[in-house]
Amino acid sequence: MTSPSNLPSWGALQTHYEQIKNDTMRASFADDPDRFSRYSMSAAGLFLDYSKNRMTDQTLANLRALADECELKSWIQRMFAGEKINFTENRAVLHTALRNRSALPVLVDGEDVMPGVRRVLQKMRLFVRSVHNGEWRGCTGKRITDVVNIGIGGSDLGPYMVTEAMVDFACPDIRAHFISNIDASDLVHTLGPLDAETTLFIVASKTYTTLETMTNAKSARQWFFDETGKQDGVARHFVAVSTNSRAVQDFGIDPANMFEFWDWVGGRYSLWSAIGLTIALRIGMDYFEDLLAGAHAMDEHFRTAPFHENMPVILGLLGIWYRNFFGAATYAVLPYDQRLHLLTDYLQQSDMESNGKSTGRDGRPVSVDTGPILWGGPGTNDQHAFYQLIHQGTHLIPADFIVALEGDTNLTLHHRMLVANCFAQAEALMKGKTADEVRVELSAAGMSPEDQEKLVNHKCFPGNRPSNMILMDKLTPHNLGALIALYEHKIFVQGIIWNINSFDQWGVELGKKLAMTLLSEMEGEQQPEQHDSSTNGLLGLYKIRAR
Ligand code: G6Q
Dump strand ranges (E) for 141-207: 146-150, 175-179, 199-204
Q: How far is the CA of 169 from the centre of ligand 1 (A)?
A: 27
Out of 341-345, 379-383, 465-469, least confident range: 379-383
Q: How far is the CA of 179 from the centre of ligand 1 (A)?
A: 14
Q: How far is the CA of 155 from the centre of ligand 1 (A)?
A: 6
Q: How far is the CA of 44 from the centre of ligand 1 (A)?
A: 28
Q: Is a pLDDT exceeding 80 seen at residue 457? A: yes
| Catalytic residue check, 509 | no
Mean pLDDT of 24-48: 98
Catalytic residue among 341, 512, 531, 543: 512
pLDDT for 525 equals: 66
| Catalytic residue check, 95 | no
Looking at residue 233, its amino acid is: G
Q: Ligand 1 pocket check: which of 95, 149, 155 to mutate, most ligand atoms within 8 Å of Cβ?
A: 155
| Catalytic residue check, 135 | no
- Residue 528's pLDDT band (cuts 50, 70, 90): low
Tens of pLDDT, residue by residue over 413-436, are 999 999 999 999 999 999 999 999
pLDDT for 510 equals: 87
Tens of pLDDT, residue by residue over 65-109, are 999 999 999 999 999 999 999 999 999 999 999 999 999 999 999
Q: How far is the CA of 547 from the centre of ligand 1 (A)?
A: 33
Closest atom of ligand 1 to 213 CA is: 16
- From the list 35, 62, 63, the residue with the least C-alpha distance to 50 is 35
Mean pLDDT of 339-365: 97
Mean pLDDT of 186-205: 98
Closest atom of ligand 1 to 154 CA is: 10
Q: Is a pLDDT exceeding 90 seen at residue 405? A: yes
Q: What is the pTM of this model?
A: 0.97
Angle at 141 between CA 140 and CA 147, to 5 degrees: 85
Q: Is a pLDDT exceeding 70 seen at residue 526? A: no
The pLDDT > 70 percentage for the chain reads: 99
Q: Whose CA is nearest to atom 9 of ligand 1?
A: 153
pLDDT for 96 equals: 98
Q: Between 468 and 510, where is the model more confident?
A: 468
Distance, CA of 99 to CA of 338 (rounded, Å): 26
Out of 127-136, 157-166, 183-192, 506-515, least confident range: 506-515
Dump strand ranges (E) for 453-527: 467-472
Closest atom of ligand 1 to 266 CA is: 7
Phi–psi pair at 207, nearest 5 degrees: -90, -25
Instruction: List CB contacts of 369: < 8 A, sequence separation 6 or more.
Output: 323, 324, 327, 329
Distance, CA of 219 to CA of 242 (rounded, Å): 19
- Residue 277's pLDDT band (cuts 50, 70, 90): very high
Mean pLDDT of 148-160: 98
- Residue 527's pLDDT band (cuts 50, 70, 90): low
Q: Is a pLDDT exceeding 80 seen at residue 1? A: no
> What residues are in contact with ligand 1 under a 6 Å CB criterion?
152-155, 205-207, 210, 213, 266-268, 353, 505, 508
- Mean pLDDT (the chain) is 96
- Looking only at the bridges linking them, the beta strands covering 399-404 and 199-204 are unpaired
